[in-house]
Structure formats: structure tokens, C-alpha cells
């Protein structure tokens, strides 16, 4: 089994998929860091124009300016109710940080690393995993190398299991690359670590209001461990689904296209039919698990960390079950 897993990892590395992923990460991380720095600078400029240059360096004044901006947006009659609820939750969070004397907008490498993963789990990270896993079986069926593999005296289930284990290792490598690249880029841009800064977690939503009765303060590095652990779980779920599709179709392009269509289409579908109860059981709706520890607003009622995690585990088990049954029974030599 060790040799099988090693062989699968080396085959993926030989295809240089990770090189593509590293390039994408470098470009998008740099753009995201620049956008973050630009947003902070623009807010400071507004505060300096209104209150003076010295007050612009005070984070409390910057928070107050953000609260003012949120209040103005809430006065817009054209914003839908879901958008209003999200803005109210964000305003309550900022007010809580302000009252607690904790700076939630301090530009630091640790804060940027957390926000980068928070924004990635819903779309960007799944797309990277789809690129990585989309051809693990279908690619070998396209080139015909699957016939050579199946001639070995190894059970089919063990071959697919080795691919799953190799994929899990590569997913961990992707998560580590995201942490490393985002950390290095943000240190260059912000020049401050901030890993021991306090961060408040445990925000909960009671309807459309913020519940602060379960909050606790933890160091930023602890929060990063939580965020990136959730990111790895999301990557594993998407990897299981991608592996299943790769087994079911013979074309790499079709495998990647199906998964990308399911990911993007599921997001759009959940937006248009958010009132349907069945929407809660789509895997795309439940990917944003980090929102439950950061306290972000959930547009679909009934979601919780336990519910979403359970749904994603069920999707993973079903995908693996279908993949193993199809791989062991399908005529791969035709």
C-alpha cells in the first residue's frame, strides 16, 4: 500500500499540477493582499479628511467610520432583507469589538492568512482541489495506463484506496502551501505578524440578530489552526466528490467540467431557491463552515456547524461508496 500511495503522489507531482496551483496562489494572494491594503488606506484617507491626520491612525476611529458606512448602506431602500440582515450582523460585531477594546482590522500577516482561507473555502479552494483530483482515474482511462495498472496482482479496491490516500496527502500539501504563500506575501505587504493578537470567536446568530453569549477570546494563531483545519476538511469533501466523478467518466475535461459546473451551479441554485428546504442539503451550501466560528451571516435558515458538517460527511461517504462500487465493477479494459 505504501508503494501504491507513493506512486500516486509521484504521478501527480510529475504532471506538475502543483506548479499550476502554486502559480495561481501567488497571483491571487498578491492581488488579495493589495486589495486589503488598498481598502485600509482608503478608509484611513476618509477619516483623515474628516477628523485629521492623527485620528486616521486610531483604529477606533476607523471602526467608527465603518459603522457609519454600514448605517448609510442600511438606509438604502433597495437592499434586500437578506442583505440588511448581513449588514446588521456585521455592524453588531464591529460594535462588540469596539466595546471590548480589541482591534479587528489591524493589518497583519496572521489576520490576512485567516481572511484568505475564509474567502477561499467557498469557491477558490474547491477549484484547486478539482484541478488536483479531476484526472486521478479518468486521466488514466484517457491515456490507457489504467489497463497496465489493473494487470497487477492488486485488488481494485486497494488501487482506488491508494489514490484516495495520495489525494489526502496532496490536499494537505495544498493547504500548507496556502498557509505558507499567504503568510509570506502578507509579511511583505503588512510587515507585521500579529499571531498572538486576540480574536473573538463564538458569535452565534439568533434569527437575524447576533448572539454574544457564547463568545470567547483566543490568540490569532489558535484561530488560524481552526480555520485551516476546516479548510482541509472542505478539501477532503471536494476531493471525494471529484474522485467519484473521475471514476464515472472517461474524460479528464468532462470530469473537471462536471465538478466545476456542480460547484458553481449549486451556488447559483441555492441563491435562487433559498426558500426551499432541499437547498439545505446541497453540498455547495454547506461548504462555508468557517462562517460558524467567525459569526458571518447565513442566508439560509436552519444551518449550523453540526448540521453542515453532517451533510458534508454524508456526501463524502456516498461519493466514496459510489466510486468504489463503480471502480471495482466497471469494465475499465474496454
* pLDDT the model gives residue 94: 83
Q: Compute the mean pLDDT over every residue in the chain, rounded to the nearest whole number.
A: 82
Q: What is the mean pLDDT of residues 8-30?
A: 83
* pLDDT the model gives residue 315: 95
- Non-local CB neighbours of 34 within 8 Å, separated by 6+ positions: 189
Return the sign of the alpha-carbon dihedral for residues 147, 148, 151, 153: negative
Percentage of the chain modeled with pLDDT above 90: 20
- Highest mean pLDDT (candidates 6-15, 46-55, 185-194): 185-194
pLDDT digits (tens, 9 = 90+) for 166-181: 999 999 999 999 999 9
Q: What is the mean pLDDT of residues 105-117?
A: 87
Residue-wise DSSP of 272-306:
HTTTSGGGGG-TTTT--TTHHHHT---SSTT--HH
pLDDT digits (tens, 9 = 90+) for 199-246: 888 777 666 666 667 778 889 999 999 999 999 999 999 999 999 998
pTM: 0.85
Q: How far apart (Å, rounded) are the C-alpha atoms in residues 265 and 16?
A: 28
Alpha-carbon 63 to chain mean position? 26
Q: What is the mean pLDDT of residues 188-206?
A: 81
CA nearest to 287, candidates 232, 248, 244: 232
pLDDT digits (tens, 9 = 90+) for 34-59: 888 887 777 767 767 666 655 556 77
Determine the 3-state secondary structure of 209 from DSSP: strand
Amino acid at each position: 500500500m505504501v508503494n501504491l500511495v507513493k506512486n500516486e503522489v509521484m504521478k501527480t507531482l510529475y504532471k506538475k499540477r502543483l506548479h499550476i496551483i502554486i502559480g495561481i496562489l501567488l497571483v491571487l494572494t498578491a492581488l488579495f493582499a493589495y486589495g486589503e491594503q488598498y481598502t485600509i488606506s482608503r478608509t484611513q484617507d476618509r477619516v483623515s479628511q474628516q477628523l485629521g491626520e492623527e485620528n486616521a491612525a486610531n483604529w477606533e476611529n476607523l471602526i467608527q467610520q465603518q459603522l457609519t458606512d454600514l448605517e448609510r448602506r442600511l438606509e438604502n431602500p433597495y437592499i434586500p432583507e437578506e442583505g440588511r440582515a448581513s449588514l446588521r450582523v456585521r455592524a453588531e460585531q464591529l460594535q462588540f469589538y469596539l466595546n471590548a477594546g480589541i482591534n479587528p482590522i489591524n493589518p497583519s500577516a496572521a489576520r490576512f492568512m485567516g481572511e484568505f482561507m475564509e474567502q477561499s473555502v467557498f469557491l477558490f479552494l474547491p477549484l484547486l482541489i478539482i484541478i488536483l483530483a479531476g484526472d486521478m482515474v479518468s486521466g488514466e482511462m484517457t491515456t490507457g495506463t489504467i489497463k497496465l495498472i489493473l494487470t497487477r496482482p492488486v485488488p481494485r479496491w486497494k488501487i482506488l484506496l491508494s489514490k484516495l490516500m495520495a489525494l489526502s496527502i496532496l490536499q494537505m500539501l495544498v493547504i500548507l502551501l496556502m498557509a505558507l504563500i499567504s503568510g509570506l506575501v502578507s509579511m511583505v505587504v503588512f510587515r507585521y505578524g500579529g499571531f498572538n493578537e486576540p480574536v473573538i470567536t463564538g458569535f452565534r446568530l439568533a434569527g437575524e440578530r447576533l448572539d454574544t453569549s457564547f463568545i470567547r477570546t483566543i490568540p490569532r494563531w489558535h484561530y488560524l489552526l481552526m480555520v485551516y483545519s476546516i479548510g482541509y476538511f472542505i478539501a477532503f469533501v471536494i476531493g471525494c466528490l471529484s474522485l467519484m466523478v473521475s471514476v464515472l467518466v472517461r474524460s479528464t475535461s468532462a470530469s473537471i467540467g462536471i465538478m466545476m459546473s456542480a460547484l458553481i451551479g449549486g451556488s447559483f441554485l441555492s441563491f435562487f431557491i433559498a426558500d426551499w428546504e432541499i437547498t439545505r442539503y446541497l453540498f455547495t451550501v454547506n461548504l462555508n463552515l468557517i462562517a460558524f466560528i467567525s459569526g458571518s451571516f447565513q442566508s439560509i435558515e436552519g444551518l449550523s456547524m453540526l448540521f453542515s458538517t453532517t451533510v458534508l460527511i454524508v456526501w463524502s461517504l456516498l461519493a466514496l461508496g459510489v466510486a468504489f462500487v463503480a471502480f471495482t465493477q466497471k469494465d475499465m479494459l474496454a
